[in-house]
Amino acid sequence: MEYLLIFISAIFVNNIVLTQFLGICPFLGVSKKISTSLGMGAAVIFVITLATIVTWLIQHYLLNPFNLGFLQTIAFILVIAALVQMVEIILKKISPALYAALGVFLPLITTNCCVLGVAILVIQKDFGLLEGAMYAMANGCGFTVALVIFAGIREQLALADIPNGMKGVPIALVTAGILALAFMGFAGLV
Amino acid sequence: MAAKKDTLLNMFIAMFVISVVSGGVLGVVYNATKEPIAAAETAKKTEAIKNVLPEFETLNNINVKSAVENEDADLPFYLAYDANNNFIGAAIETFTNKGFSGNISLMVGILADGTVKNISVLQHAETPGLGSKMSEPSFKDQFNDKNAKSFNFNVKKDGGDVDAITAATISSRAFCDAVNRALLTFENNKGGF
Amino acid sequence: MANWNNLTKGFFRENPILVLLLGCCPTLATTTSAINGLSMGLATTFVLVLSNISISLLKNFIPNKVHIPCYIVVIASFVTVLQLLMQAYVPSIYETLGLFIPLIVVNCIVLGRAEAYACKNSIGASAVDGISMGLGYAMALTILGSIREILGSGSIFGWKFIEGDTILVFVLAPGAFIALGFLISIMNKILKKSN
């Protein structure tokens, strides 16, 4: 039940993209087609969960015992960068099919701030390992939901007649704003 | 001049040197800023204590177990005494985890008779423009000079006397929760001050 | 002349956020008021200038294959230095900006400028590039912060001039997206005219 609440809260109430502003770059960059946004979402869910587990272990078994909390940022980003590269290599060897589907998105994830953001948030909120992993996965799902909905709207938007000055990024941002407004309706659900 | 060749040795040396240098620099900065950071934190707390209590002579810091049922948490109490060693009141560092986005921590000043003197918000992460209004006088000052005997420290939606912040009932409720935690713990322990 | 162009490009022609669309996350998240936008912009400038200088210094020392990890270590170190300094000397701003200070590490502007400019140019030019891009970013953030603060809370840099109800939604998440959308649209228009 508690885990269900974490999921509902992360996907609808505190959506990572639309209310916390993490991961906006890929949100605007790879949201032109539903199929690519699904691929990106799946890659993010995978990496974010793995990265949070590894960074949690590093924080609690390496940084905290040696009083090295100030190295958090540097340690986390290196771990995430290394992890992304490792996942890429392993995936290529073990499952070429999955690699073909997710491969192009993996390098982009290193600089996706929602991965580092969630890893730091889990430490700040003092979650346990399982709870943290659930929170990370839920936020990955929240990212995917926002991305896919947005891609669906943008596919239609491409066909619409838009004033010249608003074409491209401006109309995308305004649409995202209206989407965020809709998500505010979920406030107070949990 | 081109970049060094991609030999294993060169890569290793570059990574190693950069890591060692940045690690060293960070260590130095960390040590240099350790004291100012601690000082800034203490200054913030001292400021908050002075803000929520009347003039006092001496201050005594103790930890009191929260009186909320089934809760395992300690609340720092700062007991204030005047020059004749009479107990004036306590500044209590209380918290709530019912905030809209994470923990909220408050400094609540309570006089010897249980009246809330003033409240200062130490830390919160509520939505800017909505829940963040809890640190503005229009919301938090309605608690001032109120006593639990004549005032119900809950939002009106829950049958209390507190006007919630517009469109931020959750944050207002959380604020009340933190204040009530301080009041309850104070009532249960005030015999000992 | 070249230096002058190098210095001014970040404000207008190549403004990182309004034209190049780099570093959106902190732009949207921290511009709830003009002062927050300005602080975030200056914090990013600090990291950007220092990382540009160091990477330009190190460009002949770093082998190609490991350049990304090396850059990340350099950038993350400066971010941590910034974090510690802000915690010590401006704790209230540090608390408001919160999570977005460590997240400067993954701000595309910093790594982007390192890759696109600093690793190919001299130290002086890289420093100017960092200052130009950083201040241009800070300017855009301050403008966006001002718009949101005026419309959303009826004040500017904390000075309140509208009492009573304001358009609250501009301080909230949706307003951030919408305000930035219109700002970019206006910028496009101006750039087209000046060409």
Q: Which tokens hold the place of B166? A: 């517009």
Residues of C with CB under 8 A from a CB of A: 21, 24-26, 28-29, 68-69, 72-73, 76-77, 79-80, 83-84, 99, 102-103, 105-108, 111, 169, 172-178, 180-182, 184-186, 188-189
Q: How confident is the model at residue B1 (pLDDT cuts 50, 70, 90)?
A: very low
Q: Is B112 helix (H, G, I), strand (E, B) or coil?
A: coil
pLDDT of amino acid A61: 92
Averaged pLDDT, B136-162: 85
pLDDT tens-digit readout, C124-170: 999 999 999 999 999 999 999 999 999 988 888 878 888 777 888 88
Question: Is the CB of residue A16 less than 8 Å away from at least one CB of chain C?
Answer: no
Q: Which residues on chain B are in Cβ contact (under 8 Å) with C74?
A: 18, 22
Residue A33 CB burial class (10 angstroms; 0-12, 13-18, ≥19) = middle
Q: How far, in Å, CA of A67 to CA of A58, rounded?
A: 12
Q: How far, in Å, CA of A144 to CA of A42, rounded?
A: 7
Smallest Cα–Cα separation from A109: which of A54, A38, A31, A43?
A: A43
Using alpha carbons, list the distances in angstroms from residue A62 to A55, A65, A81, A179, C70.
10, 6, 18, 41, 22
pLDDT of amino acid A103: 67
Averaged pLDDT, B148-168: 84
Please check whether residue A107 lies inside any domain of the structure. yes
Q: How confident is the model at residue A158 (pLDDT cuts 50, 70, 90)?
A: confident
CB–CB contact C106 A112 (8 Å)? yes
Please check whether residue A174 lies inside any domain of the structure. yes
Instruction: Please give the tally of structural domains in chain A.
Output: 1
Contact A102/A87 with Cβ under 8 angstroms? no
Q: How far, in Å, CA of C66 to CA of B16, rounded?
A: 11
Please check whether residue A152 lies inside any domain of the structure. yes
Please check whether residue A189 lies inside any domain of the structure. no
Which H or E run contains B29?
helix B8-52
pLDDT of amino acid A37: 85
Q: Which tokens hold the place of B150? A: 């004549």
Please check whether residue A93 lies inside any domain of the structure. yes
**Structural domain for A105, as ranges:** 2-184
Task: Write the CB contacts of C17 (distance below 8 Å, at least 6 apart in sequence).
Answer: C23, C24, C27, C137, C140, C141
Could you tell me how many CB contacts below 8 A there are between chain A and chain B?
13
Cross-strand bridge partners of residue B110: B90, B116
pLDDT tens-digit readout, A107-132: 778 777 888 999 998 988 888 899 99
More confident residue, B136 or A61: A61
Instruction: Please give the tally of structural domains in chain C.
Output: 1
pLDDT tens-digit readout, C17-56: 888 778 888 888 888 889 989 999 999 999 999 999 999 9
Q: How confident is the model at residue A174 (pLDDT cuts 50, 70, 90)?
A: very high
Question: Is the CB of residue B113 less than 8 Å away from at least one CB of chain C?
Answer: no
Q: Which residues on chain B are in Cβ contact (under 8 Å) with C32?
A: 128-129
Q: How confident is the model at residue C1 (pLDDT cuts 50, 70, 90)?
A: low
Q: ipTM higher than 0.90? A: no
**Structural domain for C27, as ranges:** 2-194
Q: How far, in Å, CA of C137 to CA of C40, rounded?
A: 9
Q: How far, in Å, CA of A11 to CA of A18, rounded?
A: 10
pLDDT tens-digit readout, B48-101: 888 888 888 888 888 888 888 777 888 888 988 888 888 888 899 998 888 877
Q: How far, in Å, CA of B126 to CA of B124, rounded?
A: 6
CB–CB contact C70 B18 (8 Å)? yes
Rounded to a whole number of angstroms, the distance from the CA of A167 to the nearest CA of chain C is 8
CB–CB contact B41 C32 (8 Å)? no
Q: Which tokens hold the place of C120? A: 């190919």
Scanning the structure block, which residue is given the tokens 């908050």?
A: B48
Please check whether residue A165 lies inside any domain of the structure. yes
The amino acid that residue B174 corresponds to is A
Task: Write the CB contacts of C52 (distance below 8 Å, at least 6 apart in sequence).
Answer: C113, C114, C117, C118, C126, C127, C129, C130
Q: Which residues on chain A are in Cβ contact (under 8 Å) with B99?
A: none
Q: Is the pLDDT of residue C182 over 50?
A: yes
Contact B178/B95 with Cβ under 8 angstroms? yes
pLDDT of amino acid B86: 86
Please check whether residue A190 lies inside any domain of the structure. no
Q: How far, in Å, CA of C81 to CA of C91, rounded?
A: 14
Q: How confident is the model at residue A188 (pLDDT cuts 50, 70, 90)?
A: low
Contact C183/C147 with Cβ under 8 angstroms? yes
CB–CB contact C58 B18 (8 Å)? yes
Identity of the residue in C103, C175, C185 whose CB atom sits nearest the CB atom of A117: C103
Which H or E run contains B61?
strand B58-65
Task: Write the CB contacts of A90 (distance below 8 Å, at least 6 apart in sequence).
Answer: none
Determine what percent of chain B is predicted with pLDDT higher than 70.
97
Q: Is the pLDDT of residue A46 over 70?
A: yes
pLDDT of amino acid B133: 83
Q: Please, what sign has the CA dihedral across residues A71, A72, A78, A82? A: positive
Averaged pLDDT, A148-177: 89
Using alpha carbons, list the distances in angstroms from residue A174 to A154, A179, B127, C32, C187.
12, 9, 21, 17, 15
Q: Is the pLDDT of residue B130 over 80?
A: no
Using alpha carbons, list the distances in angstroms from residue A117 to A81, A183, B44, C145.
14, 21, 27, 22
More confident residue, A103 or A36: A36
Averaged pLDDT, A86-112: 78
pLDDT of amino acid C147: 93
pLDDT tens-digit readout, B19-61: 888 888 888 999 888 898 888 888 888 888 888 888 888 888 8
Candidates C28, C110, C177, partner chain A, best to mutate (most A CBs within 10 A): C177
Q: Looking at A158-167, A170-179, B174-183, which range is the least confident one?
A: A158-167
pLDDT of amino acid A56: 94
Prediction pTM value: 0.84
Q: Is the pLDDT of residue B145 over 80?
A: yes
3-state per-residue secondary structure call for chain C: CHHHHHHHCCCCCCCCCCCCCCCHHHHHHHCCCHHHHHHHHHHHHHHHHHHHHHHHHHCCCCCHHHHHHHHHHHHHHHHHHHHHHHHHHCHHHHHHHHHHCHHHHHCHHHHHHHHHHHCCCCHHHHHHHHHHHHHHHHHHHHHHHHHHHHHHHCEECCEECCCCCCCHHHCCHHHHHHHHHHHHHHHHHHHHHHC
Contact C88/C80 with Cβ under 8 angstroms? no
CB–CB contact A74 B26 (8 Å)? yes
Q: Which tokens hold the place of C42? A: 């200056």
Q: How confident is the model at residue C195 (pLDDT cuts 50, 70, 90)?
A: low
pLDDT of amino acid A59: 93
